[in-house]
Amino acid sequence: MKRIVTAALLAVFMFMLLPAQETTAETETESMKRPSPFRGFLRDAGQIWTYPLHIKAKDIAWLVAIAGTTTILIANDEGIYREIKRIQADNAWIDRSSPVLSAMCEGYPFAVGGLFLAHGLILRDPKSLDTGALALQAMVHSFLVVQVVKHLSGRQRPSWDGQDVWHGPYGFGRRYSEGFAKYDAFFSGHTVTIWSLATVLAHQYRGWVGPIAYATAALAGMATVTEDLHWVSDVLVGAAIGYAIGRLVCLNRRRDLRILPQIGPNRIGIGVSYAF
């Protein structure tokens, strides 16, 4: 029942974002000429995996801030977790809402991206099509990154015994024979997925969409702590990486779009082209 409610909430949220789109013969022809919405996937992957080799000076400040905050949180994660569980025990509403919020991260973001994509294809809505494609690409990139880090870090989930233990690459194969909970905490795949989706929605639809998307992602990420799936530092790193990957994918696609004035003997207009 909780999964059905979660899916329904996400579906309603997604359809609230969809703009009205009038379909005409002209827009159908233009949409058919558009390049693949999945263009640039390999280029984005190359930039993500080689990022440490080309860090920009302007990125150093926020990288240091996130690394420093993460280090402090890791050193105090057990105490923070126990305090959160104490608060949870005193507030029944957290127990009721936590499973629903946490479930929002479990596959449903991919469903939301797929719905945007389907809406764009069926109704020939370019913006919805691009939103779905960008969201799915960002989430796939995030999934690949988090799986590599999980296999190498081997951090125990709080659900194992409430103790923060890092097994490192030792748990690479053991996670499949002894259980994921012992080696699968860092960083939060739940959080990185929903933050990737939220970032794409915020970039594609302005106004109230961004704050709602980010607030939902933040609550869903923290719910993984109350559900004993992750430590707070797992959530912070997942949010940061999900945001960074979603932003990179969106900005790269925006750079692909070229809008230039066109002036000719008999006309003045605007030309639109894609680089891919």
The CATH number of the domain holding residue 154 is 1.20.144
- Asked whether the bond before 186 is cis by omega within 30 degrees of 0, the reply is no
pLDDT tens string 13-59: 444 444 444 433 334 444 444 556 677 889 999 999 999 888 888 89
Max CA separation in the chain (angstroms): 76
178 confidence band (pLDDT: 50, 70, 90)? confident
Whether residue 154 contacts residue 170, with contact meaning beta carbons closer than 8 Å, is answered with yes
Domain that holds residue 240: 2-274
Question: How many CB atoms neighbour CB 268 within 10 A?
Answer: 8
The answer to whether residue 83 scores a pLDDT higher than 60 is yes
Q: How far apart are CA 192 and CA 248, in angstroms?
A: 14
> Which tokens is 15 given?
């359809």
CA 145 → CA 45, 79, 235, 237, distances in Å?
Answer: 10, 28, 15, 12
Question: How many CB atoms neighbour CB 174 within 10 A?
Answer: 13
**Least confident stretch, 60-74, 110-124, 167-181, 232-246:** 167-181
pLDDT tens string 126-162: 999 999 999 999 999 999 999 999 999 999 999 988 8
Position 161 scores a pLDDT of 86
> Which tokens is 79 given?
């105490």
Which range, 10-24, 27-41, 110-124, 174-188, is most confident?
A: 110-124
Assign 186 to helix, strand or coil.
Answer: coil
Q: Give every CB contact of residue 19 below 8 A, 6+ residues apart in sequence.
A: 125, 127, 128
Whether residue 201 contacts residue 249, with contact meaning beta carbons closer than 8 Å, is answered with no
Domain count, the chain: 1
Model pTM greater than 0.75?
A: yes
Q: How far apart are CA 21 and CA 124, in angstroms?
A: 8
Which residue from 12, 8, 16, 207 is spatially nearest to 100, judged by alpha carbons?
8
pLDDT tens string 210-233: 999 999 999 999 999 999 999 999
Whether residue 73 contacts residue 232, with contact meaning beta carbons closer than 8 Å, is answered with yes
